[in-house]
Structure 1
Amino acid sequence: MDIKIHGVKSYRSNGKKYYYHRKSGTRIKEKYGTLRFALKVEELNHICEPEKFGSIPGTWGALIEKYRSSEDFHRLAPRTKSDYQNIFSYLSNMRAAPLDRITPVSVEELKNHTLKERKRDFTNKMLGVLSLTFNFGIRNGLCKQNPVEKIRRIPRDKRKAPANRPWTNEEITVVLKNAPTAEIAAGIGLSAYTALRSGDVLSLKWSDYQNGLIQCQQSKTGDFVWVPVITELRAILDSMDRGPAFIVLNTHGKPYTSSGFQTQFQKLKRSLINQGKIGKGLTIHGLRVTVATRLAEAGCTINEIRAVTGHTTNDSVERYVRTVDQKRQAQTAMQKLEQSKYKSV
């Protein structure tokens, strides 16, 4: 008589008994009652219910668990944690993969598969999270090498237009004027005149708007920023009925989710494009680019621009300054050429 093992079911067919792992439905081919059978059951338990049994030591799943319980992970901003968790969830199918079996060749295959399934930006983010997790494992003696170290990131197609181009002043005016509700206008206006990320805009409360300032703790970095409210934004906010909490509410009086607000913006954008009132390529994040570009055009220093946008390094801001400087120098050069074209060389 068989001893009942938790999580295992059996079937008899043609006089022969077969055993299956109940949760996964996987047939267990090892001989019933042996150590190999018990180890196989344990392995399948770890794979199917890692939150209950934990991951198998020496696997990708175990490395993730160690990293997520570390100070390295806990120190991350909430938005960054969420982004990393999204990557870990995407990679859940490889939780049981032994770390020494994850090689540069297998990572390259994963990169190509992900590129087809989730496009360039997500693929590069995934490679970055994989790499930092393996580096954590090396520092803590959990693995010996980083198989992502020499994997090339996917370059941007230079033939494509910028993903988040700046808006023109006319486009901002038209979109705000045609916004279906005051709340949607406020969401777009806050992005257009503060450079806050969309998620931070949607979390703003009326209590964050005081004494002519918008204050916000950035979800991505955890840092606080204070942005003076300029005339155009003040007109939008001061014309609204102040509710008890959030500024940007949907038609049910609830705060917009990011996807919900994007849906409303896309509807508005498509309508205005079809009417020929705005150009293609507008994005909400493009408003953040717009503010940074306008600040650079106004002659602001890198530190002044960072004080508004909340960037933590100079690299992201320097590109706006370089672009504006290039345009300004090109205009100066062509003016000199224009002025000298009737003079003998």
Structure 2
Amino acid sequence: MRVKGIKKFRSTKNGKIYCYHRKTGKRIQAEFGTGAFFAELARLDDLVAEVDPKPGTLGGLFAEWRAGPEAQELAPRSQSDYAKMLDYLAPLEAMPLVELDRPFVIRLRDKAYRKRKRRFANYVIAVLSSVCSWGVDHGLLDENPCRGVRPIKRPKSLPRANRPWTDEEREAVIAEAPKHLLVPIGLGMFAGLREGDAIAVTKTAYDGTAIGKRTNKTGQTVWWPCPAPLRRILDNAPKHSAVTLAANSRGRPWTESGFRSSFFKFIRKLEAEGRVGKGLTFHGLRHTVATTLRELGYDNETIADALGQSSPGMAKHYAKDADLRKKMTGVVKRFDRRMNKVATKRVKPTE
């Protein structure tokens, strides 16, 4: 029997069928197919039944923004992040826009901080501010109530977030990383790809000498001639049937949560052994690449090209893409020499 709106699993231990309501994630306790089962399913469906948002409310503002081109033009990762923030704000959708003022936004920020901590609270307000700014432009609000609401500052006592990796840490990680982690780590370490891009980049994006792709977060084109260490990692990676360059230990594409769990488990192991310091993150590899390029004398625009970061200067026209290959070839030659120089210094002479 096929029933819409549920996820059904059969236990391999006892053969029982377990059902979960797809939208709420709650387990349906009643036996599958019975009258009680369908009654419980209907009750859960009613809990998430969609109600048309009323004009002049926060829900109405969200609905109109979602239908507009600005929301559709967001990069896939940004669309996902915005959706999470708007889901968090969903209980407020019946609130009239005339009641949305700066003191309320500050209380909202502080409540999010108490529940989800600083970064989440700041991102909620940033998303709300973006949507409200859109509402002002479209005549739905007189002013942006988020304007002037300051983000919660990062405590000075906290260690630096996403700090660059040291040369010793990079060498230790490359030497000890399991094969299924080595490819995404190499893409972050030697190409500066974000975690999401490193596990999603396809085999067709690598031609044996360079990687070219459009980043998930900013939609910017990145073309990066692979330094020698990265080519060795990619060319010697275990064969698998996944469409992505990186694959997990079962030869399947990584999920973000699966990769993050495996990555930090590996890093914590090296921490415990004293091989790396505390605070290593995958995103810190982008900071490492940016820091190295800055030390080599490259300007911010070149570094933005290398990392696929958006900026007003890059957005002026598409002509820069025509020069990107020549420009990045020179950049990576110097980057590659720097990496090889560090590795050569650490190779002990044979007796």
TM-score by length of 2: 0.73
Unaligned 5+ segments in structure 1 are 1-46, 316-345
1:88 corresponds to: 86
1:139-288 equivalences under 5 Å are 139-180=137-178, 182-244=179-241, 245-288=243-286
For residues 312-341 of structure 1, what are the alpha-carbon distances to aligned partners after superposition, in whole Å with 9 as ceiling and x for unaligned? 1289xxxxxxxxxxxxxxxxxxxxxxxxxx
For residues 56-89 of structure 1, what are the alpha-carbon distances to aligned partners after superposition, in whole Å with 9 as ceiling and x for unaligned? 2211111000000001111211111111111101
Question: In the aligned structure 2, how far is the partner of 1:261 from the partner of 1:61?
Answer: 35
For residue 304 of structure 1, report the CA deviation from its aligned partner. Answer: 2.2
Question: In the aligned structure 1, how far is the partner of 2:48 from the partner of 2:140?
Answer: 22
Question: In the aligned structure 2, how far is the partner of 1:189 from the partner of 1:170?
Answer: 15
Question: In the aligned structure 2, how far is the partner of 1:310 from the partner of 1:82?
Answer: 19
Question: What RMSD, in angstroms, separates the aligned Cα atoms of the two structures?
Answer: 1.8
For the 8 Å contact 1:206–1:242, the answer to whether it is kept is: no
Deviates more, 1:146-155 or 1:283-292: 146-155
For the 8 Å contact 1:215–1:226, the answer to whether it is kept is: yes
For the 8 Å contact 1:214–1:227, the answer to whether it is kept is: yes
Question: In the aligned structure 2, how far is the partner of 1:294 from the partner of 1:249?
Answer: 28
1:132 corresponds to: 130
1:60 corresponds to: 58
The structure with the largest alpha-carbon Rg is 1
How many residue pairs were aligned? 267
Question: In the aligned structure 2, how far is the partner of 1:138 from the partner of 1:307?
Answer: 33
For residue 240 of structure 1, report the CA deviation from its aligned partner. Answer: 1.6
Say which SS state the counterpart of residue 283 (structure 2) adopts.
helix
Question: In the aligned structure 2, how far is the partner of 1:220 from the partner of 1:294?
Answer: 23
Question: In the aligned structure 1, how far is the partner of 2:201 from the partner of 2:239?
Answer: 12
Say which SS state the counterpart of residue 167 (structure 1) adopts.
coil
CA, structure 1 residues 50+73, in 2 after alignment: closer, same or farther (shift >3 Å)?
Answer: farther
Say which SS state the counterpart of residue 284 (structure 1) adopts.
coil
User: Alignment identity in percent?
Assistant: 37
2:303 corresponds to: 305
For the 8 Å contact 2:210–2:223, the answer to whether it is kept is: yes
1:341 corresponds to: none
Question: In the aligned structure 2, how far is the partner of 1:294 from the partner of 1:314?
Answer: 24
For residue 215 of structure 1, report the CA deviation from its aligned partner. Answer: 1.2
For the 8 Å contact 1:302–1:314, the answer to whether it is kept is: no
Question: In the aligned structure 1, how far is the partner of 2:138 from the partner of 2:302?
Answer: 40
For the 8 Å contact 2:190–2:227, the answer to whether it is kept is: yes
Say which SS state the counterpart of residue 210 (structure 1) adopts.
coil
For residues 262-319 of structure 1, what are the alpha-carbon distances to aligned partners after superposition, in whole Å with 9 as ceiling and x for unaligned? 111111111111111111010000000000001111122223212211111289xxxx
Which amino acid is the alignment partner of residue 53 of structure 2? S
Say which SS state the counterpart of residue 146 (structure 2) adopts.
coil
Say which SS state the counterpart of residue 117 (structure 2) adopts.
helix
Which amino acid is the alignment partner of residue 223 of structure 2? W
Question: In the aligned structure 2, how far is the partner of 1:146 from the partner of 1:50?
Answer: 30
Question: In the aligned structure 2, how far is the partner of 1:300 from the partner of 1:95?
Answer: 47
For residue 152 of structure 1, report the CA deviation from its aligned partner. Answer: 1.5
1:14-53 equivalences under 5 Å are 51=50, 53=51
For the 8 Å contact 2:240–2:247, the answer to whether it is kept is: no
For the 8 Å contact 2:180–2:249, the answer to whether it is kept is: no
From 74, 77, 99, the equivalent of 2:75 is 77
2:22 corresponds to: none
For the 8 Å contact 2:208–2:231, the answer to whether it is kept is: no
For residues 129-159 of structure 1, what are the alpha-carbon distances to aligned partners after superposition, in whole Å with 9 as ceiling and x for unaligned? 1112112112212222221112111122222
For residue 179 of structure 1, report the CA deviation from its aligned partner. Answer: 1.4
Unaligned 5+ segments in structure 2 are 1-45, 314-351
For residues 142-185 of structure 1, what are the alpha-carbon distances to aligned partners after superposition, in whole Å with 9 as ceiling and x for unaligned? 222221112111122222221010001111111122112x1201
CA, structure 1 residues 60+48, in 2 after alignment: closer, same or farther (shift >3 Å)?
Answer: farther
